[in-house]
Amino acid sequence: MSTDVSTEAQYRDWAHALADDRLPEGWDHLTTTVNARLAKHASEGLLFKEFKRATPAQRMLAPLRGSTVRRAISNGDALRRAGFGAPDIIFHGTLPGRGEFLFSRPGPGNDLNEWLARHREDTAFRRQMLAALGAYIGRLHGSGFVHGELRAESIYVIFTGENFNFTLANNEQNRRIQPVPGTLMLRNLRQLSALDRGRLGVTDRTRFFMAWRRQLPHLAEGEARLLVREVIGD
């Protein structure tokens, strides 16, 4: 990560404003959770994430596990080494008396919610993307990765004219374990199944699941049947 002084000052000014619920020009608030605050600058292709101040227990574990930002950086590096997309962390720091923050650039494309909204009427194209995403997440799990928060805002989608490319954001809580236990795959599938069922029907979800399943030939049929209910529904 390399920034000049003027850029560093700009990032710090933005971080202070966004952490105080003020929106500088060009920024839009995404969400605030118990653990983090997120905002987006669409024209600059930037994401801001402020992590709530670490608890005493988290601070004790930091020398062993690394800080939240350091985990985001190292987990993103691990994804890229394995052939998966992850955002570039372009600036990070700590707000006085508060938590850490980072600015990242996920690259071209839209997050999954935005992409689905843009292509709401193109059923064939939507199902093509969902099959590609299912295969991508299947390869992710097959490579031993479990994403920490596999929700729509963590997945960026772009179609290159031939293929769909995906980038995974919000990687600070990722884990890698081989093979991935079914309970952890289930957690990711539950996170994805939170997508609006009015927008994605049974056929859409089936395309995703079947593509995901083909990447995991070792998965027992009984376990697969339990997982399918989380993605497709009863």
Residue 16 and residue 50: Cα distance in Å, rounded?
A: 10
pTM (two decimals): 0.88
Specify the pLDDT at position 99. Answer: 87
Would you kindly state where each structural domain of the chain is located, as residue ranges?
5-105, 110-232
The region that residue 42 occupies, defined by phi over 0 for left and psi between -120 and 50 for alpha, beta otherwise, is: alpha
Domain 110-232 has CATH 1.10.510.10: yes
Domain 5-105 in CATH: superfamily? Phosphorylase Kinase; domain 1 (3.30.200.20)
Specify the pLDDT at position 3. Answer: 56
67-110, pLDDT tens digit by residue?
Answer: 899 999 999 999 999 999 999 999 999 998 888 999 999 888 88
Residue 7 and residue 203: Cα distance in Å, rounded?
A: 47
Cβ atoms of 135 and 213 within 8 Å: the answer is: no
